[in-house]
Chain A
Amino acid sequence: ETGVTQTPRHLVMGMTNKKSLKCEQHLGHNAMYWYKQSAKKPLELMFVYSLEERVENNSVPSRFSPECPNSSHLFLHLHTLQPEDSALYLCASSQDPLGGYNEQFFGPGTRLTVL
């Protein structure tokens, strides 16, 4: 595997379900990100982890819970979601979240539908 991978690619869940999204980066980067992408809207940064420490939490509802067990893996745990949470969830990684040129590498995303 190379780059940034995400599983599952598609997920349909009811509002009472609990599910988790998984992201893995094979680039040796120190920072990982979760984004939400809705149609015709800017990417919304949800969480940033640097060296497994959460450094950014952009007022995300508590029904989204991130976990970063090591610098290569990132999870997004989902529970009691709402239909408006349906979107594409993108994971990204970069060498460092701070300081100058900082290209982010994205995974293919998980298309989430909440019924």
Chain B
Amino acid sequence: GQNIDQPTEMTATEGAIVQINCTYQTSGFNGLFWYQQHAGEAPTFLSYNVLDGLEEKGRFSSFLSRSKGYSYLLLKELQMKDSASYLCAVADSNYQLIWGAGTKLIIKP
């Protein structure tokens, strides 16, 4: 079956760095997405990786290793507003998004 695994919850300190991991097993691969979802709000797009390597976008970076079925989202210089759930999703061979359950990130002052 198809499966996306990510930690349920993580805690980090304001100003620090946190890495949220995602491992996947899917039938085919057409890219990996990271979305951010604040409580009670819509998920919003953060990043897309289809080739191996690191994509940097401001304070956020996303890494992909297709051979390992692994990705991570790196958040630097954490701010209180980064407290949210982070969703990992993989587009399978049919371009259907398979979603992880999300990682709830708690930022402490």
Residues of A near any B CB (own CB < 8 A): 4, 40-43, 45, 48, 56, 90, 97-109
What A residues does B72 contact at CB under 8 A?
Answer: none
- Give the CA-CA distance A10 to B91 in the complex, in Å: 30
**Chain B interface secondary structure, helix, strand, loop or mixed?**
loop
Across the A-B interface, how many residue pairs have beta carbons closer than 8 Å? 49
What B residues does A40 contact at CB under 8 A?
Answer: 8, 101-102
- Give the CA-CA distance A56 to B31 in the complex, in Å: 20
Q: How many residues of B contact A (CB 8 A)?
A: 24
Residues of B near any A CB (own CB < 8 A): 4, 8, 30-31, 33, 41-45, 48, 50, 87, 89, 91, 94-102
Select B100's contact among A4, A42, A56, beta carbons within 8 Å: A42
**CB-CB nearest in chain B for A105:** B45
**Chain A interface secondary structure, helix, strand, loop or mixed?**
loop
Contact B4 A107 (CB under 8 A): no
**CB-CB nearest in chain A for B101:** A42
Contact A42 B48 (CB under 8 A): no
